[in-house]
Structure 1
Amino acid sequence: MRLLSLALVLAATASAAMVKTDSTCVVTPLSNTPARSIGTVAPADRDVDPEAEPDLWADLGPFADPPPGALGALGYYPRPEPSRGSRPLPPPVEIGVQGNRNHHVPKDGALEARQTNTDDTPQMLDAFKQCGKDGTIIFKEGTYNIRQVMNTTDLRNCSIEIHGTFVWSADNIQYWLSKSFSVTYAGRSTAWLFGGRDVSMRGFGKALFNGNGQVWIDQNRNNANQNGRPISLTVWRGTNIFIDGITWRQAQFWHTFVAHSQNVTMTNLDMNTTSNSQWKAVNTDGTDTWNSKDVVIANWTVKCSDDCISVKGNSTNIYVNNVTCYSSGGMCVGSMGSNTGQPDYVDNVVFENVRLFDSSNAAWVKTYPGTGHVKNITFRNIHFDNVNQPIYVTSCIYSYPNCDSSRLGITDVRWENITGTSRYNVAVGIHCSSQAPCDKLQFSGIDIKPLKGGTSKILCSNIRNQASSGLQCTGPCPGSHPQQLSGNV
């Protein structure tokens, strides 16, 4: 009887803040759930001497503490400390990244749940498990503390509503660096793998994702890429995915990543990651697509320190519309072609109705000297103010000595109605590989003026039929011509 009573109490604790009704799971953050009495245990049943009964917890089977690194049935919830008559109770035990509650038995005999290092991850994952197929998951208002990685890639016909704030912990950096899920591309990893088939995630303009990015910025200390530094959300092997109405603040790394997915629509998203310290917010892209097709990105506002929207290798049918970017890298195809043994292809991409402010580039293509192709790309109605080098094409990003060895073709690229001010006097810088010259480039409605006055330069090299492209080049563009300038050329 004693063991059964304790097991029932523990089981009640485990499901306290997630309630399932039919096919709907409603989740309330643990921080909104006050400490409460969840049952009583008679003194005779709780005054247990574990030394006198060494097999007590083993008898509980799945309710026993799991071994390190494993999760038992109640692995997120440590067992209560037994009381011994009038002996003072021990202080709550710090649980770490796999715990969210500390239990002790007060003198009045009530088993009370108290929150230290609150972790909502277990109940969130439980909701995805119970209602992730043919169901609805509702996250109510409040703050959800996420201290563990999440893999929710097996969703089917699922609707997710987020009315609260998701906060990723930053006092356990080493956990994230070692446990974040690999996404294969360039050694990157993510805090949340999200996918499945026929899935919607709606934030209604209320949902807020906070990655505690300042902590990541400070510990990264201006390094370009840190292995294990997690992307906030990755759409992974998803089909028919819809994400709408979510705000990001202070992401850990890239805000989002779309990989190995098809028919993904992401609308009405607001992203902002900046630094208030001596260290820069490096590589906080708005989103990157890779090995994906049929992706729609619309109605975004992004403030970040790298590519606002980046279309990487093996992306097809990507449509970007009505995006405003601040302090970013603008609209970008690439980088791609870094693995010479693995061709990269990007086909059928449209960027249109884009506004850019104080950015490094506006409408550009960057490839390594690899193999594959970039084909049928349109940059249309791109307007900007104070952009370092608005139109830029390179066949050797980050590898300038090998610029003319690239066999990755760039063809059928159009720039239409591209207007604004450049920070310096170069409006266009294009260097294509001499082994694979750019072909069928078309320019119309190009009106770019230096911010401080003067005449714009248009630098070009290795463009087939350049005279009929609509671009009047004023001089050659060397392979070493950089992506960002430090002054007039």
Structure 2
Amino acid sequence: MKLFNILFPMIISIRAAIASLIAEASTQNLEFKTCVVNPGGNSSIDDAPAIIDAFTQCGHNGKILFLNETYHVNTVLNTTGLKNCEVDLRGTLLILQSSAWVFGGDNINFQGHGYGTLNGSGQAWYTFIHGKSNYPGRPHAITIANTTNSVFEGIKFVQSQMWTMTVIHSKNVLLQDIYVNNAGNDGTTSSNTDGANTIFSDHITFKRWDITNGDDSIAFKANSTNIRVLDSTFHNGLGIAFGSIGQYKGEFNTIENIRVKNITCYNTLHGAYVKTWTGQQVGYPPNGGGGGLGFMKDILLSDFTLNNLRGIPFSISQCTTFSGVAGACNTSLFEIEDLTFENVAGTIGTNPIASLQCSAAAPCKNITLQNIDLALRNGTAASGYNCDAVFGSIGFNCTGFTCGTSSATGSC
């Protein structure tokens, strides 16, 4: 009887475990399936419904396969709420200028193999807006929303209509081996074609990005925390951006624990720059605003190689505007502290090395600029650190004052 009392619970436990394993295997075999998206074959056929249907059928415990062909996406794609989903993009999604893709879920593996492409057909927008930045109605190529524990790899983006990628309300996402080329045809300016932006997102990693564009290479906006940008190359844009932030009156936002390492820039305006709105609201978003609160701290930018930089390697402007009209440049209450820019080499077009226009109402604290080895195009050593309201300069001495004027790009 004692032996039975010992063995009986063990037998029940083993049987339950075996039943659980059988049920799990059965569920996996039954639920995991592949949906192949077949293109319509010409621009008059909108492939968006077929794409959405594939995600509806296989977006949970399944795989969506795009063939090595061209898909014409003529209407907005919304494929959110995915779970345990693989996306195999082997062809090109040709997205007309009036459409975009909202994408998200948990445990997603999105593979582009280095050639799977989202083509935004952005030239029509570039021509239409004539260089104007925040023109209403321009879509983002892809918005990664409410996404967790996911990987996006080997995807190409060509001529995005506006921002290429927006990562919002997301956490634990890896984005690596991504190629972006938003250059306009015949020298057309492709303004506001950011490579990527983070908003209300945490633990996001960008690795091995190659970006050619006409605006921020990668930007960290409101409530971006624990972000990494590694081993990436930027062409022609504005460089790494913090902000803009502080645009919405009374709102409290943060940018914290950012690490950017091993970056190569070619003909960008900056290596990195910070842009906050003033403490006075002037107009309304998207081109007006101001009066936002919050802080930015614990920032490390290291190992930058700058090639033929167009402007100032590192800039802080707390007088951002996109309308040409700004509040007083010394009124921002958004706090900037513990920011380091180090191990920087290369060639730049003009002095100074840094322009730090901080707000007198909330001075910048503990700014470190060290191990800077830069030369002008004529071979002479770069020099100069212009500062307003900087408390705690580490590794450099302020040599003058900034121009103190409003800016959208961190330049005078």
TM-score of the aligned structures, taking structure 2 as reference length: 0.85
Please report how far the alpha carbon of residue 456 of structure 1 lies from its aligned counterpart in structure 2 after TM superposition: 2.1
Moved over 4 A (4+): 481-486
User: Is 1:364 equivalent to 2:273 in the alignment?
Assistant: yes
Aligned residues: 364
Q: Which moved more, 1:121-130 or 1:476-485?
A: 476-485
Which of 392, 395, 398 is 1:470 aligned to? 395
For residue 393 of structure 1, what is the amino acid of its counterpart?
I
CA distance in 1, matches of 2:397, 2:377: 20
Instruction: Tell me which residue corresponds to 1:412.
Output: 338
- 2:202 maps to 293
Q: What is the letter of the counterpart of residue 94 of structure 2? A: V
Find out whether 1:391 has 2:318 as its counterpart: no
Contact 1:162 1:204 in 2 (8 A): yes
What is the rounded CA distance, in whole Å, between the counterparts of 2:351 and 2:378 in structure 1?
A: 9
Distance 2:32 2:402 in 1: 65
Q: Give 1:319's aligned residue.
A: 228
Q: How far apart are residue 400 of structure 1 and its match?
A: 5.5
Amino acid at match of 1:430: L
Paired residue type of 2:37: V
Per-residue deviation at 1:118? 1.8
- Given candidates 359, 384, 399, the residue that maps to 1:457 is 384
Secondary structure of the residue aligned to 1:446 is: strand
**Cα distance change on mapping 1:484 and 1:434 into 2, 3 Å:** closer
* Distance of 1:122 and 1:378 partners within structure 2: 44
Q: Is residue 375 from structure 1 mapped to residue 333 from structure 2 by the alignment?
A: no
CA distance in 2, matches of 1:207, 1:116: 19
- In the aligned structure 2, how far is the partner of 1:22 from the partner of 1:404? 58
The 5 Å alignment of 1:200-211 reads 200-211=109-120
The one-letter code matched in structure 2 to 1:23 is K
Task: Measure how far apart 1:137 and its partner are.
Answer: 1.1
**CA offset at residue 453 of structure 1?**
4.4
- Which residue does 1:57 correspond to in 2? none
- Partner residue, 1:129: 56
Aligned to 1:337: 246
Deviations 1:190-224 (Å, cap 9, x if unpaired)?
A: x1110011111101112011111111111122111
Is it true that 1:402 corresponds to 2:298 in the alignment? no
CA apart distance, 1:169:
2.2
Q: Any idea what SS the aligned residue of 2:123 has?
A: helix
Q: Which residue of 2 aligns with 1:163?
A: 90
The runs of 5 or more residues in structure 2 that have no matched partner are 1-29, 279-291
Alignment correspondent of 1:194: 103
Counterpart of 2:45 in structure 1: which amino acid? T
- Preserved contact between residue 319 and residue 406 of structure 2 (Cα < 8 Å): no
Partner AA of 2:328 in structure 1: N
**Contact residue 66 and residue 89 of structure 2 kept, 8 A:** yes
| Aligned residue identity for 2:33 | S
What is the DSSP-based 3-state SS (H/G/I as helix, E as strand, rest coil) of the residue aligned with 2:57? helix
Structure 1 or 2: more strand by fraction: 2
Structure 1 residue 340: Cα displacement: 2.1
Shift of the 222–29 alpha-carbon distance from structure 1 to 2, 3 Å rule, reads same
- State the Cα deviation string for residues 200-258 of structure 1 (Å, max 9, x = none): 11011120111111111111221111211110001011111210001111111111110
Give 1:29's aligned residue.
Answer: 39
Partner of 1:479: 404
Q: In the alignment, does 2:358 pair up with 1:436?
A: no
Aligned-residue offset at 1:159: 0.8
Distance 1:485 1:364 in 2: 9
- 1:443 Cα deviation (Å)? 2.0
Cα displacement string for residues 47-69 of structure 1 (whole angstroms, at most 9, x for unaligned residues): xxxxxxxxxxxxxxxxxxxxxxx
Looking at structure 2, the residues matched to 241 and 315 of structure 1 have their Cα atoms a distance apart, in angstroms, of 17
Question: Pairwise CA RMSD of aligned residues?
Answer: 1.9
Task: Give secondary structure in 2 for the equivalent of 1:465.
Answer: strand
1:252 aligns with 2:161: yes
In the other structure, the counterpart of 2:20 is none
Q: Which residue of 1 is the match for residue 23 of structure 2?
A: none
Equivalent AA in structure 2 for residue 209 of structure 1: L
Where do 5+ consecutive residues of structure 1 fail to align? 1-19, 32-114, 171-175, 181-190
Equivalence map 1:225-264=2 (5 Å): 225-264=134-173
Residue aligning to 1:79: none
The 2-side partners of 1:337 and 1:165 are apart by 38
Shift of 1:376: 0.4
Secondary structure of the corresponding residue to residue 367 of structure 1: strand
Residue 144 (structure 2) pairs with residue 218 (structure 1)? no
Within 1, Cα distance between the matches of 2:182 and 2:95?
14
The residue matched to 1:335 in structure 2 has which SS? strand
- Asked if structure 2 preserves the Cα contact closer than 8 Å seen for 1:424 and 1:485, the reply is no
**Matched letter for residue 230 of structure 2:** N
Q: Please name the residue that 2:352 is paired with.
A: 426
Counterpart-to-counterpart distance in 1, 2:168 and 2:406: 31
How far the C-alpha of 1:449 sits from its partner, in A, is 2.0
Instruction: Indicate conservation of the 8 Å contact 2:315/2:410, yes or no.
Output: no
SS at match of 1:475: coil
Aligned to 2:256: 347
